[in-house]
Amino acid sequence: MEHRPYRSFFLPVVLIGIGVVWLLGTMGVIPNANFASLASLWPLIFVVIGLRILIGGHSAVGSALVGLITVALVVFFLIAGPSLGLTTSGTLKTERLASDIGTATVADITLDFSSQPVAMDALTDKTSLLKGEIDYYGTLNYSESGDKTRRIRLERSGNSGIPFDWDPNARWDIELTPNLPIMLTIDGGSGSSDLDLSQLRLIEFNLDQGSGSLKMQLPASTQPYRAAITGGSGSMNVAFPSEGDITVRLNGGSGSINLDIPTGTAVSLEVRSAGSGSVNLPDWLLPDRVYRDGKEGTWKTAGFDQATHKLTIICDDLGSGSFTIE
C-alpha cells in the first residue's frame, strides 16, 4: 500500500501568525510595551517543540493544530501579559537632557549609543553645552562632573526585556556647543547615526562605529586635532572639510567605508594593511610607493608638503569591507 508523503503545516501557520501579530502591533491593538512579556515566556519554546513532536510529528492536521496553538498562546500573552504580572521592562521612555557651559573651558564628552537612530548637530545658543532628547528602553545613565573641564557621560544600560526594540519612532537627538573645545568619544550602537559635527571645535575625536550605518561630517577646527575611527559592520560615510589640519587613524570592519574629500584638499594617505576588501582611490592621489596590487602604500596630492592645511589618513587595517575615497 502506497503512503502519501507527509506534509507539515506547522511552519506556514506560524509564519502567518507572526504576520498577524506584527499587523496587530502596527495597528495599536497590541501595545509596543507588551512585547516585553514574551521575554518571560521563553520556556514555552520547549513546550511547543514537545507538542510538535508528540502531536504534529506525523500528521498534517496535528502540525497545523500545534501551529495554531502556538500563535494563540503568543497573542494571548501579548494582550494579557501586563495584567498577569509579566515583565514590562520594554516600555519606551523619553528623557530631555540639558547642560549649561557655566565656568567650563573645555568639554570631555563620551556618548555610548544604543539601538535607536542618532542625530547630532551643533547648538545655536551660546550658554548651553549639551541638549538632548533621548528615547530609550532599560536604564539611561547620565553623569556630569567638573568645572573647568566638564566631563559628560551618557549611555543606556539594562535589558529591555525584548530581543530588539519595536518602536520605529524612537531616536536620540543630541546637540553640542560649538563654543568650547571638545574631546569627543562615541561608541556606536546598532542604530543608524547621522552626525553633523561640522560646526564643533574638536580637539580630539574617537569613534567606534558599531553595527549601525554611519553618516558623519567632520569639522575644520581652529587647531590641529587627531581622530581615531574604527569601522563596524554597517556602512560608513565620512565627509571632510576642505581646510583643516586633521590626522586620522582608521581601522575598518566588515562594512564599506567611503571618504568624501573636497577637491583641492592637501591629502596624505597611507594604507598599511588593506585587508580583504577593495581599495578605490581617485586619480588626483599620486602614488609615492605602491605594492601588493596597488592596495597598500602611500599616496599624496601634489604640493602636500608645502600646504598650509593638511589631511593625513593612516589606515592600519581596512578589514573586509570596501574602502573608497571620492
The model's pLDDT over 12-35, given as tens digits with 9 standing for 90+, comes to: 777 787 777 777 767 666 666 566
Confidence of residue 93 (pLDDT cuts 50, 70, 90): confident
Q: What local confidence, expressed as pLDDT, does residue 235 receive?
A: 94
* pTM for this prediction: 0.74
How far apart, in whole angstroms, are the C-alpha atoms of residue 103 and residue 147?
A: 6
Lowest mean pLDDT among 18-22, 252-256, 322-326: 18-22
Confidence of residue 85 (pLDDT cuts 50, 70, 90): low
pLDDT reading at 163 higher than 50: no
Q: What local confidence, expressed as pLDDT, does residue 8 receive?
A: 64
Confidence of residue 5 (pLDDT cuts 50, 70, 90): low
pLDDT reading at 162 higher than 90: no
pLDDT reading at 169 higher than 90: no
Domain ranges of the chain: 10-84, 93-325
Class of residue 69 by CB neighbours under 10 A (exposed 0-12, middle 13-18, buried 19+): middle
Class of residue 115 by CB neighbours under 10 A (exposed 0-12, middle 13-18, buried 19+): middle
pLDDT reading at 290 higher than 90: no
User: In the numeric block, which cell numbers belong to residue 279?
Assistant: 581599495
How far apart, in whole angstroms, are the C-alpha atoms of residue 178 and residue 186?
A: 17
Q: Which residue would you say has higher pLDDT here, 33 or 230?
A: 230
DSSP 285: S
The pLDDT of 190-204, averaged and rounded, is: 94
